[in-house]
Amino acid sequence: MEEIHRKILQRNRTNLVRDLDPLNLYDGLLEKEIFTQDMIDDIRSSGTRRDQARQLVRDLETRGSRAFPLFLECLRETGQHSLAELLQNGAPAVQPQPAAPTQIVHTVVLPLPISSPMDVDKQRKDDVPVYPVQRPHTTPSPSPEREYIRPSPQGRTRQDSIQSYKMDASPCGHCLIINNVEFEPQSELSNRKGSNIDCDKLERRFKKLNFIVDVKSNLKQKQIKHALSALSKKDHSQYDCCVVIMLSHGTEVSHSRFPGAVYGVDGQYVPVQHITNYLNGQHCPSLQSKPKLFFIQACGGGEKDTGFEVSPDEVQPSIGGTDDQMDAIPMSSSSDSLSMSDEPDARATLPTPSDILVSYSTFPGYVSWRDTQSGSWYVETLDCILEENAATHDLSTMLMMVNNEVSQISAKGLYKQMPGSFNFLRKLLYFQS
């Protein structure tokens, strides 16, 4: 597909996902050879109407140069004129080129030879079209212009086959924000000035994304556990997602799954891997197979990252504020503090995490910076990225944008920060827009 047409589809993806009626398009898309039957079946199985519309638009971008004008024809033929005009107004006049009326030599696509998966990978790369081979052969096998050969359903590994989570419930789900700002003197932890700014931003953002937001402030360790336990006991069957946001001091602890821990205002911490356990499929059955998202604005340790020198063309430096503070204390290795004997989710073995994403404000072991006037680098960037891209991009892509932007900020012109995530999602996640 021409780059200008691909950009038009991306620019109008929100309207297409909201208004497109894929069901009426399938016959035309098949008849005009834009998609194969296997591809249509993939789109049909992706979920709700919105999910099918999103998958259809995404797959359409991978087709040949005739796909865009033929797609406009399908829209008009099925009465979806407003969408056709919306796309047409942003594109130069392009007429689909009809196939030659007569052909002396038939065009066929040869089947893949029987070979090992490694040999197949060497023969064709993902997203690279395979051109028809001219052979004076028998039965023709028509295909769209520059169509690539798709492997059988059993062997598909392309992103085209990745489905999207159902995210159209209203409300979408619960969002719990724990905002620890004022720490008790015996904790020897400083107050987190600027965290309320983070909390307000995220409360507004997730309400706009159609979540039920519950904010709890200045919780001790046991109160954090109680809040998570109460969330796990809710009936989430009518919702599609659950979000937990932790704003606090943090530290590095021994772990077997998710690194880091978050402090209560009493100076006692809860490991991140315990936080996630409250909502896993075993302890919260009504969230099974649904995405559970955790955003951690806390330090992963006490190490400061001074970065490394790169070419000036590679980054656009951004200097943090003069009041930047850290959300860290040194790593704890106390066996008592790591004991899980009093945890409601403690087990000798736990199921492998699935449908869980934990997004950290900083790389494990390193400090996380927070401006006392404008809030933390991570939350401020996350909020902006969600505002600008939630309507068109999936969560994993947006978190990569966050990583890139935060990595270019400097504290006091010296220290750096690198966010990251542990992603155990099985599908693409698009928020409601």
249 is catalytic: yes
How much of the chain exceeds pLDDT 70, in percent? Answer: 67
Residues 154-175 have a mean pLDDT of: 78
If one counts every other C-beta atom within 10 angstroms of the C-beta of residue 73, the result is 14
Annotated catalytic residue within 5, 174, 249, 393: 249
pLDDT tens for 383-423 read 999 999 999 999 999 999 998 988 887 554 557 678 889 99
Q: Where is mean pLDDT largest: 51-55, 130-134, 282-286, 352-356?
A: 282-286
Residue 104 has pLDDT above 80, yes or no: no
Using alpha carbons, select from 110, 143, 146, 127 the residue that is nearest to residue 32.
143
Residue 200's pLDDT band (boundaries 50, 70, 90)? Answer: very high
State residue 162's pLDDT score: 81
3-state SS of the chain is CCHHHHHHHHHCHHHHHHHCCHHHCHHHHHHCCCCCHHHHHHHHCCCCHHHHHHHHHHHHCCCCCCHHHHHHHHHHHCCCHHHHHHHHCCCCCCCCCCCCCCCCCCEECCCCCCCCHHHHHHHCCCCCCCCCEECCCCCCCCCCCCCCCCCCHHHCCCHHHCCECCCCCCCCEEEEEEECCCCCHHHCCCCCCCHHHHHHHHHHHHHHCCEEEEEEECCCHHHHHHHHHHHHCCCCCCCCEEEEEEECCEECCCCCCCCCEEECCCCCEEEHHHHHHCCCCCCCHHHCCCCEEEEEECCCCCECECCCCCCCCCCCCEECCCCEEECECCCCCCCCCCCCCCCCCCCCCCCCCCCEEEEECCCCCECCEEECCCEEHHHHHHHHHHHHHCCCCCHHHHHHHHHHHHHCEEECCCEECCCEEEECCCCECCCCC
pLDDT confidence of residue 128: 39
Ordered domains of the chain (ranges, CATH): 3-88 (1.10.533.10), 173-423 (3.40.50.1460)
Query: Please, what is the average pLDDT of the chain?
Result: 75
List the single range of 160-169, 204-213, 399-408 with lowest mean pLDDT: 160-169
pLDDT in tens, 245-257: 999 998 887 766 7
Predicted local confidence at residue 145, as pLDDT: 35
Residues 67-102 pLDDT 10s: 899 999 999 999 999 998 898 887 654 444 554 444
Is 324 or 342 the better-scoring residue by pLDDT? 324
> Which residue bears the tokens 């530290």?
251
The answer to pTM > 0.75 is no
* Mean of pLDDT values over 265-269: 94
Exactly one of 175, 199, 299, 393 is catalytic; which is it?
299
- Rounded CA-CA distance 394/391 in Å is 9
Whether residue 13 contacts residue 46, with contact meaning beta carbons closer than 8 Å, is answered with no
